[in-house]
Amino acid sequence: MEASKRCVKDVTCLRKFIDIANACIELGHWPLHFKVSMSIIIPKPNKESYDSLKDFRPIILLNTISKLIEKVIGERLQFQSISNKFIYQCQLEDLKQQSTTDAGVMLTHFIYTGWVKNLSTSTLAFDIAQFFPSLNHQLLSLILFKASFDPKILLFFKDYLVGRKTRYFWNNFSSPSFNVDVRVGQGSALSTILSILYLSPLLYIFEKQLKNLKIPVSILSFINDRLFIA
């Protein structure tokens, strides 16, 4: 990790990463060795017992070089999708000039606005369980098309999302390799922007339906957490 940080600060080395990112998009190809990961199973803290799978979580270890290249590609996706206003305006997760502080400020604004009108504010917070492993690849491809990305981007993700493998490690146990083509990899530098794009159409449709029904509910979104405000 320290070596990669030094490499990023070197202009010549950084240009090589950009060249690789450009080549991946031009060729519509993601190298096989970037698709291999390790999943380290660790116990969640402060559990009364550890007799259920929900008491553990996997930590995904990815190729460091691949994460840097994904970061370059993710920055481009974010720039274009924000420029064409495809991303829902109240999605605040891991976007430029957006943060948890902005989410807090927006919630405070809604509360104070209600007070001015002598109204109370109610909120409903919920989490989408197993969100990243549940993203449908065909739907994601359609959403990328609707977002007006270059056809080369669509071809790249058709290759990027498939052929992935991981091994599971738990204490002294290590498993053989398993195919993991049914998800967007959590821990990947591209997983957040892809999840944002994936949810944006749904949030726009939901907002439109609320307006049609004249229901005064606002939505805040942060990764796989949602907040309805009324």
Q: What is the pLDDT of residues 90-131, one digit of tens each?
A: 877 667 667 777 778 888 888 888 898 888 888 888 787 777
pLDDT of residue 97: 64
Nearest Cα residue to 70 out of 92, 94, 91: 94
**Sequence-distant (≥ 6) Cβ neighbours of residue 51 within 8 angstroms:** none
How do residues 26-56 score in pLDDT, each as one tens digit?
A: 999 999 999 999 999 999 888 888 888 888 8
From 109, 107, 82, 100, select the one nearest 219 (Cα to Cα).
Answer: 107
pTM score, whole prediction? 0.82
| pLDDT tens per residue, range 148-201 | 999 999 999 999 998 889 999 988 899 999 888 777 766 788 888 888 898 889
Distance CA 70, CA 81 (A): 16
